[in-house]
Chains A and B, each alone.
Chain A
Amino acid sequence: GQQLNQSPQSMFIQEGEDVSMNCTSSSIFNTWLWYKQDPGEGPVLLIALYKAGELTSNGRLTAQFGITRKDSFLNISASIPSDVGIYFCAGQLNFGNEKLTFGTGTRLTIIP
């Protein structure tokens, strides 16, 4: 099935650094979601975006819905150890039990 292209594939940063990752698609979505997955757990929703051009924050996290509806960005400021994990973007065409299409994931590692 289709997957969204997510980059970078992995990141190694020091605590306190800012993080940026993005997700691109060949087709448009009307909803973009960002999830974080910890080992042994299912993905947990971080931020949801519904409008092209929208910029939304959740604490140290900021995400943007690209104006073309084909991309989205997630930024994490001042990273802390608990930010370690895998981040997935997901696109949805319409709300109402329509499936999600997931990105390939970005693995974030914090170097002590």
Chain B
Amino acid sequence: SAVISQKPSRDICQRGTSLTIQCQVDSQVTMMFWYRQQPGQSLTLIATANQGSEATYESGFVIDKFPISRPNLTFSTLTVSNMSPEDSSIYLCSVEGDSRVLGYTFGSGTRLTVV
């Protein structure tokens, strides 16, 4: 299965600022998925990033707040803009395996605290 490197692993940010999270995959993938995991909660999909086109956002998430870049088939970034304490969460990127048996692989996540 793919190996995903996610940076930074954690950060503490001031409200009103923005943070860009990077996700690097060791193989070429069509889609990359960005999830948010609020404290003590499950994973919620933010958006799907397809190389060469605009990301597709889930209900409740907008591009102005979570702009995504997908410059090539192995890399994506998620920016959390104009942060507030409610944005404090773990943000994870994920890719699907080459076959059904592999499921989805997740990065180790970025733990964001907004103060």
A residues in contact (CB < 8 Å) with B: 1, 3, 31, 33, 35, 40-45, 48, 50, 88, 90, 95-97, 99-100, 102-105
Question: Which A residues are CB-close (under 8 A) to B59?
Answer: 1
Q: Pick the residue among A1, A3, A40, A42 that contacts B60 (CB under 8 A).
A: A1
Q: What are the residues of chain B within 8 A of A88 when measuring CB–CB?
A: 42-43
Judging by beta carbons under 8 Å apart, are A45 and B43 in contact? no
B70 CB to closest chain A CB (Å) equals 13
Partner of B106, one of A42, A50, A103: A42
Q: Can you name 15 A-B residue pairings with CB atoms under 8 Å?
A: A3-B44, A33-B104, A40-B9, A40-B108, A41-B109, A42-B6, A42-B108, A43-B43, A45-B105, A48-B103, A90-B104, A95-B96, A96-B96, A99-B33, A102-B44
Q: Do B100 and A95 touch across chains, with their CB atoms under 8 A apart?
A: yes
Interface residue count for B (Cβ, 8 Å)?
Answer: 30
Question: Which B residues lie at the A interface, using CB under 8 A?
Answer: 1, 4, 6, 9, 30-31, 33, 41-45, 48, 58-60, 92, 94, 96, 100-109, 111
Report whether over half of chain A's contact residues are helix, strand or loop; otherwise say mixed.
Answer: loop
A1 to B94, CA, bound (A): 18
Contact call B48/A42, Cβ cutoff below 8 A: no
Interface centre among B4, B30, B109 (most CB of A within 10 A): B109
B42–A100 touching, CB < 8 Å:
no
Partner of B100, one of A40, A44, A48, A90: A48
List chain B residues, Cβ under 8 A from A40: 9, 108-109, 111
Whether the Cβ atoms of B42 and A102 lie closer than 8 Å is yes
**Residue of chain B at shortest CB distance from A42:** B106
Contact between A50 and B100, CB atoms less than 8 A apart = yes
